[in-house]
Amino acid sequence: MLDRLSVRQAYTILSLCYLAFVIYGSLIPFQFRSLPIAEAIDRFRHLPYLNLGIQSRADFVANILLFIPLSFFLMGVWFRQIRPRYVKVLDTLLVLSFCCFLAAVIEFLQHFFPARTVSLNDIIAETAGACIGVVIWLSHGQRLTAWAQNVISEHRPRSLAEQALYGYIVALIFFSVFPLDLTISPVEIYHKWKEGKLVFIPFTGAYESSRQFFYDIFTDIALFIPIGFLAGKTIGTDPRKSSKLWMGAWLGFAVVSVIEFLQIFVYSRFTDVTDVITGGAGGAFGFFLSQVTADRPATTDRVRTDPRPRPFPWLNSVIVLIYVGILVSLYWSPFNFTADKILIKSRLKDISLIPFYSYYYTSEFHAMTEALRRFLFFLPLGVLIERFWKNTVGKAHLIINLFILGLLAGGIEFGQVFLPGRYPDITDALIGLTGGMAGVWIFRRIFQAPAYSEKKE
C-alpha cells in the first residue's frame, strides 16, 4: 500500500497522524475545567519563564523533539525542489509559522486543563524543534525520502534485514541517551557516581527486589536480540559463518559499550558494566536464532514456492507456550492473587480507558522505557505466531493474529486486576498488541521473499 502512495500523499498522512498525536499528548489527561476567555487570555499574556534545573531539562528537550518530526513532515507536504527560490522561502516560512502558531494555541488551551504545566519554556522549545525539523529537511530531506522509498520498495530479505539492523542500532542509541539531560560537568558526574548511577562492577547495582533484578536482566538481553538476529539474516546461511555466535556477541558488545559510554554524560541514565555482558549475550542469542530459523538452500531442481523455514509444528507450539509463560511470569509475578471482591471492584473502576493516561503521571524517561519494553516483549510473540501460517496470503489469518495477540495482551492486563502489587492499564495492552503485530509484519517482510528457482549446474 505504502509503495502506491505518492511522496506528497505519504507526507500528508504522516503529518495529519502526527499532528493528532501532538495535540493528544499535549492535552492528556483531559481534565477540562471551565475558565473565562478573558482570564485565559490574561494568563497567556503573562506566561512565566521557568528556570530549569538539571532535573527539568528532560521536559524541555522532550518538547524540542516533539516538534522536529512535525515540521519535517509538513515540509514534505509543502516544499517542492523544482519551485522558484522565493516560493521555497515562502513554503519554509509557512511551515514555521504554522508550527509556532500551533505551539501557542496548545499552550493557551492548556489553561483549561489544570493538570498541565503552562510556561513560556514550552513555546520556545517547540519553536526550536520546528526550526530543527526544517533545517533537517532542507539539508537531508530529499535523501531521507529517497532512502525511505527504497526500503519500502525493497523485497530482498537480506537487504531488508541490513536496513532494519542499521535503523534499530540508531534507534537504540537514541533511546539510550533519552531524555537528553546531558552534562559534561565533573561535579554533576561525581553526583551521578554518589547516587549509584555509575556501576563498574558487574551485578552489583541496587535493585528493589530479586523480581526487579531478573526483569531488568531479561529486558537488557531482549533489547540486543534483534541486533544479533538481524546481523545473522544480513550475513545469510553460509555454513562457514552459521556457527560463529561470537559475531553476534561482538556486535552486541560493541553497540552496548558505545551506549554505556554515552550514558555517562546523561544525568538521568545509569552506566552499568552488567549491561555490557547482557548486551553481548543478547547479540549472541539473536545470532543463534537467525541461524536456527534460516531457510536452507534447495538441493533439487524444483521451484521453491515457500522460502520460509518449516520447523516441526509441535516445536513452534512449545516455543510459543514457553514464551507466553515467560511474559506471564514477568507481569504476574509474584502471583499473589486476591479474591477480595471490594478490592477487585475498586481496581476495575480505577482503570482509565484513555490511552497513555497513566503514562502522563510518570517521567518522559520512564514512560518511554516502559513502552519500549512492552513493545519489544510482544514483538517476538508476533513472529512466532506468524510462523504458523507458512505461505498463507490474504487478510483472514492477519485478523486471527490480531485477535490472538489482543487476547494475550489484554488477558495479561486483566489478570493484573487480581494482583494488588500490579497496575492494569489499557495502554500497556495496546502497546503489546502493536508490538505483536509489528512482529507479524517484520516476519512477513524479511522471510516472505518472492518465489525463486534453483537449478543444478
Q: What is the pLDDT of residues 161-182, one digit of tens each?
A: 888 888 888 888 888 887 777 7
Q: What is the dihedral of CA 177, 183, 189, 194, to 10 degrees?
A: -70
- How far the first Cα of the chain sits from its last, in Å, is 39
Q: At 188, phi and psi to the nearest 5? A: -70, -35
Is residue 6 pLDDT above 60, yes or no? Answer: yes
What's the rounded mean pLDDT across residues 258-276? 88
Give dist(CA 12, CA 76) in Å, integer.
Answer: 8
Percent of the chain having pLDDT more than 90? 25
Tens of pLDDT, residue by residue over 360-410, are 887 777 787 788 888 888 988 888 888 776 555 567 778 888 999 999 999
**Element spanning 273, H or E:** helix 273-292
Tens of pLDDT, residue by residue over 129-152, are 999 999 999 999 988 898 888 877
Which of 16-20, 124-128, 138-142, 388-392 is predicted with the least confidence, judged by mean pLDDT?
388-392
Residue 268: per-residue pLDDT: 80
| Contact in structure between 126 and 67 (CB atoms under 8 Å) | yes
**Residue 2: half-sphere exposure toward Cβ, Cα within 13 Å:** 11
The secondary structure of residue 334, as a DSSP letter, is T
Exposed, middle or buried: residue 294 (CB in 10 Å: 0-12, 13-18, 19+)?
A: middle
Q: How far is CA 65 from the centre of its chain?
A: 15
**Element spanning 304, H or E:** strand 303-304
Q: Tell me the residue type at 449.
A: A
Residue 417: per-residue pLDDT: 93
**Residue 155: half-sphere exposure toward Cβ, Cα within 13 Å:** 7
Tens of pLDDT, residue by residue over 270-318, are 888 899 999 888 888 888 877 766 655 544 444 444 444 444 456 667 8
Tens of pLDDT, residue by residue over 407-436, are 999 999 999 999 988 889 999 999 999 999
Give dist(CA 379, CA 290) in Å, integer.
Answer: 15
122: nearest Cα among 114, 113, 110, 132: 110
Tens of pLDDT, residue by residue over 318-347, are 878 888 998 898 889 888 899 889 999 999
3-state secondary structure of 303: strand
pTM score, two decimals?
0.75
Give dist(CA 123, CA 238) in Å, integer.
Answer: 54
Place of cell 514456492: 305
Give dist(CA 265, CA 260) in Å, integer.
Answer: 9
Residue 391: per-residue pLDDT: 57
DSSP string, 346-415: HHHHH---STTHHHHTS-HHHHHHHHHHHHHHHHHHHHHHHGGGTT--SSHHHHHHHHHHHHHHHHHHHH
Pairing, β 271-272 against β 198-199: parallel
Mean pLDDT of the chain: 82
Tens of pLDDT, residue by residue over 342-359, are 999 999 998 888 888 888
Tens of pLDDT, residue by residue over 214-246, are 878 888 888 888 888 888 878 765 544 445 667
Is residue 441 pLDDT above 90, yes or no? Answer: no
